[in-house]
Chain A
């Protein structure tokens, strides 16, 4: 009897659970529908306002349209973002031809709507994800008055929030706090590499100053990562350091420094790059070949030609791509394509076939 009773109770519980699931499912689906309908409704209403703002014949009518748009937005960040996206992406208006006029228009709308206020409220009251989002948006709006508040968040225990806050500070060009954040994650090698790359790309301040702050206190891993990242920005002030590293014995440091030196393409570095092109590490050889291809001297050409038969495929491929940008004579080309060196010929053919049209 006991088992029978238990099984009946079990079945009733299951039915109750199914009932709850159905109610939850329906409610969530309804919310989804409401959101879709709201989005569509907003889109339609915004369309009218956006056209009004973009095509208003006089200043006063435009101001009236902006006021109406601000009333429509009414402190809702989703509506605000949709409105700005609609204005910037509007086809056939001056959005296509005069980006500056659109920037001015957005600035006028911002005066009425006060998006900074909207995101500042989100920064105060939102959960970690909304706070992170607010940080990023505030930086896009150049809300410098919130730098200190955002800077406090780089020490937050939520990794997402700390990252978003630091990213916002990058947009503000705040080298001191960004450096502090990067140093706080330097031991997390699975994470910090890509963050350094991202932060330097988005950094609006003085990259040299940021790098100097990092070099002062960072560990070798962070140093090498920063050097590799900086390669693309060609900061002359660090060249002596690169030259020293390229000739040293610290392997990872050497890889980073040769990459950075190769990006400059200065004739005075040719000697170092020639030595690096004979290194036992193919990553160093590949970087050196890329650097030598920028020099275009006969010696550099000879080394790049030689690299076409390197034992490592990536070096051969880099050399084949690089040599087509150098002053290569038809005779050299014939020699490579028709020669006995199959590696060199294959690598060149691969590049050349892709640079011509088909039948």
Chain B
């Protein structure tokens, strides 16, 4: 009897804990939302007088190396390089690093751009797997193709850094597309504030959008529900979360699909960490750690007007693989840099950003999953009042809708909305619908990531993505 009572008490306490957890999380989200709303609105006004186009011929505009790590990317790579050659930026080089692809990635690039092998001196400022050859074409002098042994995405990025000539570099996914002015807008973060060491742009879901040469030419609602939910999710993540964290200089992640880095800082910290699948988050956390230790002034920025388009996964299988990977990457990074957590030496990053990620981003999935099973169970046991159960559920959904719908309002304040008013309102219906099934499934995938952390922490997995509409 005593044991049963103990279990019963535990369940009741856990239920209260779940409620308090949900309430606290939503309060944090609402604060993030309000801060983001104000900042985006202000940044838009500020951008009006910035006149970033006038910087095209400025000496202050730093040249950029665009590094594209490619592993079996034969479907996208040539098209992506061609699209990058049309971006609006006065001085940049494209470095494609073929990370031991087993398909025709290398062959296609070499033939498409008439490249030949050159001898070059490589500054191995960061150790990488063997580089087998460097290819160049005089016809495309700002393109370099690097053939290397397979060593993973981080290793490919490090090889690209070693070969890059310019003081800034950006890592791009082979299956993403940059908007024509994206680099110009993002590099303004380095011009306007010389303390900037990293700046991330917004990644938008391209499913349904027609993008030609880096310009959005129209939007039609994607066919699959899963794609529609992702549109809402990305707005929430980028326009609410990242805008807020960057405003406190404690942003812990800059998307691997589009981030601009000061090269010397990345070299100083030893480049991207190998053998991790969350290299994009890990490098940012390590930069925070290094800069604090060295007592250097620095900024990690986010620019909501600088857009990179990416095709979101279209099947539940692919989204499962993606979210599991994200969760494992998050866990890996948090464990690697655990001493920063609650450490006042790291300022806002240590006191707020790291604990937030531990509690809500990592263990949030765990609490939510247990809650999904335990609360109905408690209800069946008669330990929970039906009224409270219904109210708790409705309040959670309502708060979730406030957050998601709020992100769509913030999106309107960027004045770069891809959709018409009707489409925009139609997509906001999914801010409600996502609470009935989609969110729970995603939580389960995240939970799976935590469970399979040890087994899958070095496995990337391949996601099948749609071609960009031309």
Contacts and interface: CB of A to CB of B under 8 A. Distances in A.
Given A21-B405, A356-B138, A130 B48 contact: yes
A152 B463 CA distance: 58
Interface string A312-354: 0100000000000000000000000000000100110110011
A59 interface: no
A191 B388 CA distance: 56
Residue among A132, A161, A349, A358 facing the most chain B CB atoms (10 A cut-off): A358
Interface in B232-272: none
A103 to B, nearest CB: 19
B424 interface: yes
A114 interface: no
Contact of B60 (A14, A18, A194, A355): A194
A355 B51 CA distance: 36
A193 B194 contact: yes
Interface string A6-25: 01101100110110011011
A111 interface: no
A359 B60 contact: no
B49 interface: yes
A190 interface: yes
A279 interface: no
Given A14-B395, A21-B409, A197-B59, A30 B421 contact: yes
B194 A11 contact: no
Given A29-B424, A350-B120, A353-B119, A130 B417 contact: no
B138 A198 contact: no
A358 B140 CA distance: 11
A33 B60 CA distance: 36
B402 A136 contact: no
B398 interface: yes
A119 B55 CA distance: 22
A33 to B, nearest CB: 5
A17 B412 CA distance: 17
Interface in A172-200: 190-191, 193-194, 197-198
Residue among A22, A128, A356 facing the most chain B CB atoms (10 A cut-off): A22
A7 B395 CA distance: 8
Interface in A293-325: 313
A8 B58 CA distance: 59
A356 B116 CA distance: 10
A22 B428 contact: yes
A245 to B, nearest CB: 21
Contacts of A10: 395
B136 A353 contact: yes
Interface size for chain B: under 10, 10 to 19, 20 to 34, or 35 or more residues? Answer: 35 or more
A259 B281 CA distance: 40
B338 interface: no
A21 B402 contact: yes
Interface string A218-242: 0000000000000010000000000
Contacts of A347: 121
B116 A25 contact: no
A133 B425 CA distance: 33
A201 interface: yes
Contacts of B118: 349-350, 353-354
Interface string A66-85: 00000000000000000000
Given A25-B428, A28-B409, A33-B420, A7 B60 contact: no
Given A18-B405, A358-B114, A359-B116, A164 B49 contact: yes
Query: How would you classify the secondary structure of chain A's contact residues: helix, strand, loop or mixed?
Result: helix
A25 B413 CA distance: 10
Interface string B365-403: 000000000000000000000011001001100110110
B220 to A, nearest CB: 16
B67 interface: no
A241 B177 CA distance: 50
A127 interface: yes
A8 B191 contact: no
Contacts of A343: 121
A40 to B, nearest CB: 12
B120 A353 contact: yes
Residue among A24, A25, A353 facing the most chain B CB atoms (10 A cut-off): A25
Contacts of A18: 398, 401-402, 405
Contacts of A133: 48-49, 51
B402 A25 contact: no
A129 B405 contact: no
A4 interface: yes
A25 B425 contact: yes
B137 interface: yes
B86 interface: no
B49 A358 contact: no
A24 B409 contact: yes
Contacts of A160: 46, 49-50
Interface in B327-367: none
Contacts of A25: 405, 408-409, 412, 424-425, 428
A357 interface: yes
Given A14-B395, A358-B115, A29 B420 contact: yes
Given A24-B409, A25-B428, A190-B195, A198 B123 contact: no
A201 B57 CA distance: 9
B60 A198 contact: yes
B412 A29 contact: yes
A198 B121 contact: no
Nearest to B55: A198
Residue among A343, A347, A357 facing the most chain B CB atoms (10 A cut-off): A357
6 smallest A-B Cβ distances: which pairs?
Answer: A358-B116, A346-B121, A14-B398, A29-B421, A28-B412, A132-B49
Given A8-B391, A25-B405, A133-B49, 18 more contacts: A4-B391, A14-B399, A21-B406, A21-B409, A25-B425, A29-B417, A35-B415, A130-B48, A160-B46, A160-B50, A190-B193, A190-B194, A194-B194, A201-B58, A313-B123, A349-B120, A350-B118, A353-B119
20 contacts: A11-B391, A11-B398, A14-B399, A14-B401, A18-B405, A21-B409, A26-B424, A30-B421, A129-B48, A160-B46, A190-B195, A197-B60, A198-B58, A346-B121, A347-B121, A349-B119, A350-B121, A354-B136, A355-B138, A359-B116
